[in-house]
Structure 1
């Protein structure tokens, strides 16, 4: 028995290389990363974060949820078939083609699949060799799977950090540049899916299987992709993301209750899917609207320069400067825009001393020796603004 389980886990791990989602994730990483870096070079003249930064810090979180979800599916006898896995993979692939990470929320990917299969079962006149197996899986199971992955999305959003979001620049209504941050996070939740017609069984549990389409099962590792994307300018990115996660947590509680209701009233499945998708879209839209209503944090100031972004590993990063702080002086000379900043730096190429006003309104001084060429590569990103004057004057001959 132990050897059979060990063999099935090994075969299940190998199945991941046959999953379309694995290759979709790899291709999507390079695609979305390429366009982000391209926009960075256009806005700032250089790359800020490397390709693949959207996945930063999510690997162990995804594995943890994968272990919990795998255990829950196996012990409850929640079997899925290949048609369901292929349907979910197809929806993710179509959404990935749009390069819109926010569409990779499990509410959209699994929710649409749930609604589509319910409608097919309700209105299909003739059985279909490919679609009919989709109806063999209890939609109550799909609703619980949806709810579980939404909880994973809530925690993914909750763990957003300001220094790991992507700075952006755009022109405001008055023609001046304003800054903002784009939160883009991707996480893979690899979990073992029990599939029918294997050699394993859990006969020691009286309740097993709860959602049966077979008395025996095999295992297949399924790399589910979760994505979150939202722009913030009126509030710091991690604060906006926490508000989003709070709202999504409330929706997740509603879905938990809805999943229990669907267990007793399967005909409510369509309502659960609609509530999930409408609720997620409402959260995204209201968050965007409320942020637009606020005055942007990253706008030109008369008494200093707001730091919009910091390149990881740069001198500015090593000096402990934080996004959203304001640089008021460099070498005791007041500066109000990027042009003035680098004019002063061009006269002090071996040393940097900055007066920085922190979030408590207090001034602190940071300094660092600079190596050759570092004076114009400090790693600071400011709001671009045409200088009102220049600190240098030309000599009249």
Structure 2
């Protein structure tokens, strides 16, 4: 009952923790920047400015609960000094210029490396005592925590990172308009960690105290922030992001395997931290290099118009039009660009019949009755020069 009570209270404390409000502010800032970019390129926002908040707490809450059960079951113990160090790193890496490093590989990996250089002598003041606790942290516990959070990061990117990516337009080296997509997410994964009761005074009388093998531990609640940023020019957004997610998931599995010998040789955790940092950076760099090497995906076509974006709750979304598909015929007429698309729409103001080349290179036909004004507002974004309008 004490554990269940602490879980319920911990969920309430989620909204009292300063890192939670920092994450909310960062997510709000991400939404404002995205809306500004979309209005600049398309004169309309694709998603509202609080759209990213829908991904902030879910499914991170469920994943955090599962990871908490695992960490408690295997006996992961992290002193309050290390938790403070991790919190400081989360705060530093939450900035707009460091957001892409807001991953468990950097947060926990850097915490492991920094702890090696902290003094071990406990002083009388709180700050010195925290540094000493961080320096004396059981490294094998950090190895397990690192592996679990990297696996969680990979799963979140794989399953949720490609949802509602944001389109943009830029100029190629030849001066032609080219489309790309940006995925920028922030997830909160709240964890319950065990901390030694020695040197920690519970702020409330009801704070649960566990006795494990003669040692006393408190629960401590930490909302871990996991950030993700990726720009896609040469691949379909869903394919590109899912590929990255699988790579990160693979890195998490590797760190989990390496965490086994770290249980017997804690110093091996330093090597695991370096593997996680280098591996995560390699994943990011290789994605950018592959994206630069391959031809652009969202470019103007000789036959048809590629769909760069679809506005939510628009006629195009109701018709099942998807990003990356190519509209080849409108109301029975071949089109070779956006201008042809508009002209063909004007010829039948009551019905919109589209022949679409889908992502499997198969033609399908979609149609829908149009109402007054809808032929101007189907909700499709195309790649075009300078001022981009909505199809």
**TM-score, length basis structure 2:** 0.86
Deviation at residue 347 of structure 1 after TM alignment = 5.4
Q: Report the counterpart of residue 204 of structure 2 in structure 1.
A: none
* Aligned counterparts of 1:260 and 1:165: Cα–Cα separation in 2: 37
Q: Deviations over 1:112-135 (max 9, x none)?
A: 1121112325xx789633311212
Aligned with 2:45: secondary structure? Answer: coil
Aligned match of 1:91: 89
Cα distance in 1 between the residues matched to 2:275 and 2:53:
29
CA distance in 2, matches of 1:364, 1:72: 47
Is 1:119 aligned with 2:117?
Answer: yes
Match of 1:311 in 2: 311
For 2:188, the equivalent position in structure 1 comes to: 188
| Residue pairs, 1:188-267, within 5 angstroms | 188-197=188-197, 199-203=208-212, 208=213, 215-267=215-267
Q: Name the CA distance, whole Å, in 2 between partners of 1:61 and 1:6.
A: 20
Q: How does the TM-score come out when normalised to structure 1?
A: 0.85
Q: CA deviation at 1:303?
A: 0.8
Matched, 1:146 2:142: no
1:15 matched residue in structure 2:
13
How big is the shift at 1:199?
4.3
Distance 1:125 1:307, change over 3 A: same
Kindly indicate whether residue 69 of structure 2 is the aligned counterpart of residue 71 of structure 1. Answer: yes
Question: SS state of the match for residue 112, structure 2?
Answer: helix
Moved more, 167-176 or 68-77: 68-77
CA separation in 1, counterparts of 2:321 and 2:3? Answer: 52
Superposition pairs of residues 377-392 of structure 1, within 5 angstroms: 377-385=377-385
8 A Cα contact 1:8 1:218, kept in partner: no
Superposition deviation, residue 59 in structure 1: 4.5
Aligned to 1:29: 27
Which moved further from structure 2: 310-319 or 184-193? 184-193
Instruction: Encode CA deviations 1:64-121: one digit per residue, 9 max, x unaligned.
Output: 3212221123233323233323322222222222255422211112211121112325
How far did residue 177 of structure 1 move? 0.8
CA distance change for structure 1 residues 137 and 309 in 2, over 3 Å: closer, same or farther?
same
Return closer, same or farther for 1:348/1:95 CA change in 2, 3 Å cut-off: farther
Shift in Å, 1:195: 3.1
Change (3 A) 1:97 1:141: same
Whole-Å separation in 2 of the counterparts to 1:250 and 1:372:
52
Distance 1:336 1:280, change over 3 A: same
Per mean C-alpha deviation after superposition, the further-off stretch among 247-256 and 303-312 is: 247-256
- CA separation of 1:302/1:221 partners in 2, compared to 1, >3 Å: closer, same or farther? same
Question: Counterparts of 1:24 and 1:141 in 2: how far apart (Å)?
Answer: 26
Structure 1: tracts of 5 or more residues without a match: 210-214, 388-397
Alignment of structure 1 residues 35-54 onto 2, 5 Å:
35-54=33-52
Q: Does 1:80 align with 2:78?
A: yes
Contact (CA 8 Å) 1:118, 1:269: kept in 2 or not? no
CA displacement, residues 252-284 of structure 1 (integer Å, 9 cap, x when unaligned) = 233123322322223333322222111110111
How far the C-alpha of 1:374 sits from its partner, in A, is 2.4
- Residue by residue over 1:283-327, the C-alpha shift from the partner in whole angstroms, topping out at 9 and shown as x without a partner, is 110111012111111111111100111112111000011211111
**Deviations 1:3-25, CA, capped at 9 Å, x for gaps:** x4455445434432332211011
Which residue pairs with 1:393 in the alignment? none
What is the rounded CA distance, in whole Å, between the counterparts of 1:187 and 1:100 in structure 2?
16
Q: State the aligned residue count.
A: 374
Report the Cα offset of residue 162 of structure 1.
5.1
SS in 1 for 2:44: coil
Indicate conservation of the 8 Å contact 1:11/1:220, yes or no: no
The Cα shift of 1:202 comes to 4.5
In 2 relative to 1, CA 356–17 (structure 1 residues): closer, same or farther, beyond 3 Å? closer
> How far did 1:144 drift?
0.9
CA contact (8 A) 1:12 1:219 kept: no
Whether the aligned pair in 2 keeps the contact of 1:326 and 1:357 (CA below 8 Å) is yes
| Cα distance in 1 between the residues matched to 2:300 and 2:98 | 30
CA RMSD of aligned residues (A): 2.6
Counterparts of 1:76 and 1:357, CA distance in 2: 51
- Is the CA contact (8 Å cut-off) linking 2:211 and 2:217 kept in structure 1? no
- Secondary structure of 1:120's match? coil
Q: Contact conserved, 1:163 with 1:323, CA < 8 A, in 2? A: no
Worse overlay, 233-242 or 125-134:
125-134
List per-residue Cα deviations over 1:125-159 (Å, max 9, x = no partner).
89633311212421211121011000011111221
Task: Determine whether 1:365 maps to 2:365.
Answer: yes
